[in-house]
Amino acid sequence: MRKPEKGALLGLKIIDFTRLLPGPLATMLMGDLGAEIIKVELPKSPDYARNFPPHKGGESLAFLNYNHSKQSLAIDYMQEEGKAILLDIIKTADIFIEQFRPNYLSKIGLGYEDLKKINPSLIYVSLTGYGQTGKYKDLAGHDLNYIGFAGGLSGNQLSAPQMPNVQMADIAGGSYMAVIACLSALYARTRTGEGQWIDVAMLDGAMPLAINALAWNWIVGKPENRDTSFLSGGMINYNIYSCKDKKYIALGALEFKFWQKFCQIIQKNEWLNRMIAPNKEQFDVWKNDLSALFETENSDFWIELGTKNDVPITPIYEVNELDNDEHIQERKMIVEVEHQTAGKIKNIGIPLKFSGTPSEVFRASPLLGQDNEEILRELGISESAIAELKNKKIIN
């Protein structure tokens, strides 16, 4: 099956001009929801993610996890004949999403103003690190740079900035914001009948992640130290603890009702007033007491205690533990798909569950140029013309 057959976005056609993680994940999410995604790559310079280790069956597992539910068109749009074919495809599209440096595509005739002439209703999404305007717009960058600019790595006098182990700016500031941009512009088009250009910057999209820290700074007049902030380690009832088996748990008893219940269960009613410490010295004493308590039992004991008594005590999983979680299995958030060369591979499932328009990961990530011929046939290009395009190296 080359195209989706169900989903909330069925009938939507998206030209995916993105690479690496942010854009491909955004289009994959929309492909999972039923949109037809045509991923366009240069035959001799495809998406860099195809080279990322580890590999299985000659295919990058990173690429396979960002690009399922898509078709692949490998065409040399730097040649005029290839560009003309691409423009014919874009004429039939709803959305064009790209991830190049500002103004690059305009220089080769694929900017918004160029495509607007042939498809006035086209929604054109430009996804970059710093946006199309501003002092930083031409700077190179990656997730670490954007989240650093956005205040998401801010340290304090007690500890240095910490490297996150997930790509926050790429995904929350890039992928998710790009999806929001596409769907918002589609709704606007139902009212106006017109497309538009949307400037999505990962730095801009990452800033809401620091909204509480920003608000504190604006109101109090100085940043709150990470080690004393309520939501990043400054409360013993909302913190991370090691257990007897050296596994970690998350205690999320943020509200008094949960902390009260916890104190009653462990028979420590004298700890009820320990939610907000008056100073660091007192905080350290309180946390040491609670740490010592958690070290008396294995993590399973505390997790079961929390589950039975409606107290938010949960495991801190390593990524290799997610597959075995019953809840994640029931929610179908890890799925297995069959790839023609890599065999069975696991992918992230669909985060949104629709009652009326259910979705599915309907297809594994495509090989480079896997759908060239079928896409060109739909344009009315003959078999002999397709063969000639191959001879000219315009398609692979």
Same-domain check for residues 184 and 309: no
pLDDT beyond 80 at 1: no
Same-domain check for residues 135 and 265: no
Asked whether residue 8 is domain-assigned, the answer is no
Asked whether residue 382 is domain-assigned, the answer is yes
Asked whether residue 215 is domain-assigned, the answer is no
Q: Report which of 193, 192, 171 is spatially closest to residue 351, judged by C-alpha positions.
A: 171
Same-domain check for residues 297 and 336: no
Q: How confident is the model at residue 96 (pLDDT cuts 50, 70, 90)?
A: very high
Same-domain check for residues 269 and 331: no
Same-domain check for residues 147 and 260: no
Per the structure, the count of domains in the chain is 2
| DSSP, residue by residue, 284-305 | HHHHHHHHHHHTTS-HHHHHHH
Same-domain check for residues 22 and 130: yes
Mean pLDDT of 385-389: 96
Q: What is the per-residue pLDDT across 234-262, written as a single tens digit (0 to 9) for each? A: 899 999 999 999 999 999 999 999 999 99
Asked whether residue 236 is domain-assigned, the answer is no
Mark 43-77 as b/e (b = at least 16 C-beta within 10 Å): beebbebbeeeeeeeebbbbbbbbbbbbbbbbbbb
User: For position 157, what pLDDT does the model report?
Assistant: 58
Q: What is the per-residue pLDDT across 162-181, written as a single tens digit (0 to 9) for each? A: 888 899 999 999 999 999 99
User: For position 155, what pLDDT does the model report?
Assistant: 62
Q: What is the mean pLDDT of the chain?
A: 95
User: For position 158, what pLDDT does the model report?
Assistant: 63
User: For position 216, what pLDDT does the model report?
Assistant: 85
User: For position 32, what pLDDT does the model report?
Assistant: 97
Same-domain check for residues 282 and 195: no
pLDDT beyond 80 at 13: yes
Strands 55-56 and 59-60: antiparallel
Same-domain check for residues 166 and 306: no
| Last residue in a domain, options 315, 341, 358 | 315
User: For position 232, what pLDDT does the model report?
Assistant: 83
Question: For residue 367, with 0-12 CB atoms within 10 Å meaning exposed, 13-18 middle and 19 or more buried, which class applies?
Answer: middle
pLDDT > 70 fraction of the chain, expressed in percent and rounded: 98
User: For residue 60, what are the contacts with CB-CB under 8 A and spacing of at least 6?
Assistant: 49, 50, 51, 52, 53, 54
CA gyration radius, the chain: 25
Q: What is the per-residue pLDDT across 300-319, written as a single tens digit (0 to 9) for each? A: 999 999 999 999 999 999 99
Tokens linked to 244:
């007897």
Q: What is the per-residue pLDDT across 314-369, written as a single tens digit (0 to 9) for each? A: 999 999 999 999 999 999 999 999 999 999 999 999 999 999 999 999 999 999 99
User: Using CA atoms, how far apart are residues 232 and 230, in angstroms rounded to an integer?
Assistant: 6
Asked whether residue 144 is domain-assigned, the answer is yes
User: For position 80, what pLDDT does the model report?
Assistant: 97
Of residues 212 and 206, more confidently modeled = 206
Asked whether residue 227 is domain-assigned, the answer is no
Same-domain check for residues 305 and 333: no
Q: Which amino acid is at 288?
A: N
Mean pLDDT of 92-96: 98
| Last residue in a domain, options 288, 315, 342 | 315
Q: How confident is the model at residue 229 (pLDDT cuts 50, 70, 90)?
A: confident
Same-domain check for residues 182 and 275: no
pTM of the model: 0.94
Same-domain check for residues 332 and 311: no
Strands 13-17 and 36-41: parallel
Same-domain check for residues 191 and 263: no
Q: What is the per-residue pLDDT across 17-53, written as a single tens digit (0 to 9) for each? A: 999 999 999 999 999 999 999 999 999 999 999 999 9
Q: What is the per-residue pLDDT across 150-159, written as a single tens digit (0 to 9) for each? A: 988 876 656 6
User: For residue 257, what are the contacts with CB-CB under 8 A and spacing of at least 6?
Assistant: none
Tell me the longest C-alpha to C-alpha distance in the chain: 84
User: Using CA atoms, how far apart are residues 22 and 175, in angstroms rounded to an integer?
Assistant: 5
Tokens linked to 365:
């990530």
Which H or E element spans position 72? strand 71-74
In which domain, by residue range, is 272 found? 248-315
Q: List the CATH number of the domain containing 107.
A: 3.40.50.10540
Asked whether residue 7 is domain-assigned, the answer is no
Asked whether residue 269 is domain-assigned, the answer is yes
| Last residue in a domain, options 315, 338, 362 | 315
